[in-house]
Amino acid sequence: MIASTQVGIIGAGPSGLLLSLLLRRNGVDSVVLERRSREYVEGRIRAGLLESATVELLREAGVGTRMLQEGLVHDGFELAFGERLHRIALKELTGKSVLVYGQTEIQRDLACAAEQVVWEVDNLRPHGIDGNEPRIIYTKDGATHELRCDFIAGCDGFHGASRASIPVNRIRLFEQVYPFGWLGVLADVPPLHHELVYANHARGFALCSMRSATRSRYYLQCPLDADVKDWPDDRFWEELTARLPRALGARLQTGASIEKSIAPLRSFVAEPMRFGRLFLVGDAAHIVPPTGAKGLNLAAADVRVLFTALVDHYRAGSSQLLDEYSARALARVWRATRFSWAFTTLMHRLSDDPFAQRLQLAELEYLAESRAASTAMAENYVGLPFPK
């Protein structure tokens, strides 16, 4: 079967659905093609923290109501090291806050609002991306389909088909894989603290986050070959307590986990983020370690740059903003990549080298004593301004 639309979008994660909604609000048609089922995509537990620019964009897309009712505004977060705590006062230092609202909820809100989504497609391949008649070929329930479009948005994550369809000599990949992962647990227990706590400890990094007043999200740095089967709940809670300052650890409320998973940590950037009529968006073009909570926010920033360019193209007939997409998006991507790498390097146990540990401690002490250093961290955490 042959169908056509203006923008063919590959992937119904946050990037793909948000792009589709913003385009529709501005009179541009799109069709979203997703490999997985809607239930599967909505069940993935991932990000939790939104920058104010992301909140604004979701509102602009018409999916802000529940987020603003249920999201938790955070004006700061804590850095823990040894028995010390230092609060990064985001609001006081930058005038901005962040919002705690799970990606699972955003995904649900976006999927409810989206219209043209085809779930559970197979064998998807972009074709003709270097010409004027791009198309996406895929199968659904055993039948082959062709979607003809003016442009293709590759919103299909790190393992998707979009980036893989660009000739290897036309794309440059930058990558750093970290020698550890994050073991995450979701549990229906009240959060340890009313703000997030990022802990640097000799036993490894720990993060205490949350989804609501009754649901917590905790992470532990773990070896790359760790297996969730070796981490029964009791062991997880014991290890988490051991990595927190004693006064905080003593307050930890434990309970049965409702989800437990391990994610490797990686920094990755693909340049440029465009090849012909294919535009890479979000995790398809870049991955950051989750320490800085930037992945979803960067994806939203790409969507903002791309939807503005596409709308301008259809309204004014100009291709200037489309031509600038990659450079504009990458300027922000590299800054967030730098911050995520620096925050990861500051907070994790990188090796057994005591020299590296002393350097971390020196930097954390400097942060605790210097308003300028804390402001620099806060500025990055709440999200840097969009480049002109």
Active site residues: 74, 198, 290, 294, 381
Q: Which of 182, 198, 236, 279 binds ligand RFL (CB under 6 A)?
A: 182
296 near ligand RFL (CB under 6 A): yes
**Smallest distance from ligand PHB to CB 47, Å:** 6
63 near ligand RFL (CB under 6 A): no
Residues 6+ apart with CB under 8 A from 381: 77, 88, 90, 98, 292, 293, 339
Q: Which of 111, 152, 155, 305 binds ligand RFL (CB under 6 A)?
A: 155
Strands 172-187 and 197-200: unpaired
Q: What is the CA radius of gyration of the chain?
A: 21
Q: Which of 290, 325, 332, 350 binds ligand PHB (CB under 6 A)?
A: 290
The residue among 293 and 367 lying less far from ligand RFL, judged by its C-beta, is: 293
For residue 93 the two structure tokens come to 């230092």
Q: Which of 5, 54, 107, 209 binds ligand PHB (CB under 6 A)?
A: 209
Question: Please, are residues 18 and 103 in contact by the beta-carbon 8 Å criterion?
Answer: no
For residue 248 the two structure tokens come to 């905080």
49 near ligand PHB (CB under 6 A): yes
CA gap 278, 171 in Å, rounded: 12
**Smallest distance from ligand RFL to CB 322, Å:** 19
217 near ligand RFL (CB under 6 A): no
160 near ligand RFL (CB under 6 A): yes
329 near ligand PHB (CB under 6 A): no
340 near ligand PHB (CB under 6 A): no
291 near ligand PHB (CB under 6 A): yes
CA gap 84, 34 in Å, rounded: 46
**Smallest distance from ligand RFL to CB 230, Å:** 19
221 near ligand PHB (CB under 6 A): no
Instruction: Choose the contact partner of 239 out of ligand PHB, ligand RFL, none; CB within 5 to 8 A by kind.
Output: none
Question: Please, are residues 52 and 100 in contact by the beta-carbon 8 Å criterion?
Answer: no
222 near ligand PHB (CB under 6 A): no
Instruction: Choose the contact partner of 217 out of ligand RFL, ligand PHB, none; CB within 5 to 8 A by kind.
Output: ligand PHB
Instruction: Choose the contact partner of 299 out of ligand RFL, ligand PHB, none; CB within 5 to 8 A by kind.
Output: ligand RFL
Site string for ligand PHB, 179-208 (x = CB under 6 A): -----------------x------------
348 near ligand PHB (CB under 6 A): no
76 near ligand RFL (CB under 6 A): no
Cα–Cα nearest to 336, from 372, 370, 388, 300: 300
Binding residues for ligand PHB, rule: CB under 6 A, are 47-49, 196, 209, 217, 290-291, 293
Binding site for ligand RFL (CB under 6 A): 10-16, 33-36, 41, 46-49, 103, 121, 124, 155-157, 159-161, 182, 184, 263, 282-283, 290, 293-297, 299
